[in-house]
Amino acid sequence: MNSSVHHAPRFSLKHSLESGQFFRWTEKDGHYTVLRGQRLFRVRQDGDTLDYDGADLWFLREFFALDQDYDSIERALRRDRRLWEALDAYPGLRVLRQDPWECTAAFITSIASNIPRITGNVADMATHYGIPIRLGGVSAHTFPRPDRLDDEAGLRKLRLGFRSAYLVQAARLARSGILEEIASLAYDDAKTTLMVIPGVAEKVADCVLLFAYGRLNAFPVDTWIRKVMIRMFFKGLRVPDRAIRAFASERWGELAGVAQQYLYHWSRRSGAFTSRGREPRSSEAPAPVSTRR
DNA sequence: GGCCAGGTCCAAT
DNA sequence: ATTGGACATGGC
């Protein structure tokens, strides 16, 4: 195999791929096989060096956001002491830049699911509707383009459940070009436009904006983030998701989404935050605990 | 076995 | 403007 190398300091392949933002990878002995859009490539990290083949450097830089100054991003987030533990636990974790359509479909699939199941569902859609692809001895299937996913009955057979109809609708809108429009829109308009897609509401829209469009201010609130944010900043009292988003936006601004990804990964891994159980509801619009940074 | 899952939608307050 | 239940299926 002819592989290339690239110097990628302050980047963790492992933490970036394994933090639950992306579902199309496998790992064996430190070698990652990755499917992103129509591309299949292999990559391995040795210290600051990335060893890869099956994709060019341009593609790698795009996907892993290697052109982005995470040094200053992390320095900015580090001004918030509340993030130290998560930042220190997963140094080099980056928000990836996924293919917009694949990301949209994946996070529709993620609704009321869990990572192992999402991974399986997405893989099933690929094997069933995608295009065979090969790299060296590795065979796989690309994630199906929107025109191939127009099959609600077939998706139900793949156990996608109620998400099947959403996926079909999303595919139709994707074919109409809605995902290309998004790139040129400001965050609010982009989000509103995404939410036109059935099955895409606030949370999924924020995932897509964050994980595919590089909108690092997007702050998806799922059950885990809700839990960790309520415990860290709202005295353990239940508040509306919109209050959590507003708080995150005010506290972390344009980098809220990066903070989100650290907190998400950290809260799940630490085990301190079982997502079970509901918080007692706060009676009225609660002032978030004021915390010094 | 039962509860809840990287939610969304709709109907009934 | 908020809240509860249905939705398919399965992980733990």
Does A272 map to a domain?
yes
Closest-lying nucleotide for A108 based on CA to C1': B7
CA/C1' separation A119–B4 (Å): 18
Is-contact A16 A65, C-beta < 8 A?
no
Distance from C-alpha of A236 to C-alpha of A281, rounded to nearest angstrom: 9
What CATH number is given to the structural domain containing A238?
Answer: 1.10.340.30
Q: Any atom of strand C under 7 A from CB of A240?
A: yes
Containing structural domain, residue A245:
69-132+144-286
Any domain includes A20: no
* A131 CB neighbours strand B below 7 A: no
Question: Is residue A183 in a domain?
Answer: yes
Residue A190 lies in a domain: yes
Task: Give me the pLDDT at residue A252, please.
Answer: 98
Count of domains for chain A: 1
On whether residue A111 sits in a domain, the answer given is yes
Pairing of β A138-141 and β A25-28: unpaired
Strand C nucleotides, any atom under 7 Å to a protein CB: 2-3, 7-12
Flag whether pLDDT at A188 surpasses 50.
Answer: yes
Residue A253, pLDDT > 50, answer yes
- Structural domain contains residue A8: no
Q: How far is the CA of A139 from the C1' of C6 (A)?
A: 40
Mean pLDDT over the full length of chain A: 94
- The answer to whether A38 CB is within 7 Å of strand B is no
pLDDT, tens digit, for every residue of A48-101?
Answer: 999 999 999 999 999 999 999 999 999 999 999 999 999 999 999 999 999 999
How high is the pLDDT of residue A291? 45
pLDDT of residue A272 exceeding 90 = no
**How far is Cα A128 from Cα A153, in angstroms, rounded to an integer?**
13
The three-class DSSP label of residue A213 is coil
Close Cβ partners of A230 (under 8 Å, ≥ 6 residues apart): A236, A237, A238, A239, A244, A279
A161 touches strand C (CB under 7 A): yes
Interatomic separation, CA of residue A94 and C1' of nucleotide B7, rounded (Å) = 25
The whole-angstrom separation of Cα A252 and Cα A56 is 33
Q: Is the CB of A1 under 7 A from strand C?
A: no
* Residues A37 and A99: beta-carbon distance below 8 Å: yes
Residue closest to C6 C1′ by Cα: A162
Give residue A129's pLDDT: 98
Q: Do the domain assignments include residue A191?
A: yes
Q: How far is the CA of A225 from the C1' of C9 (A)?
A: 23
- CA closest to C1' of B7 belongs to A111
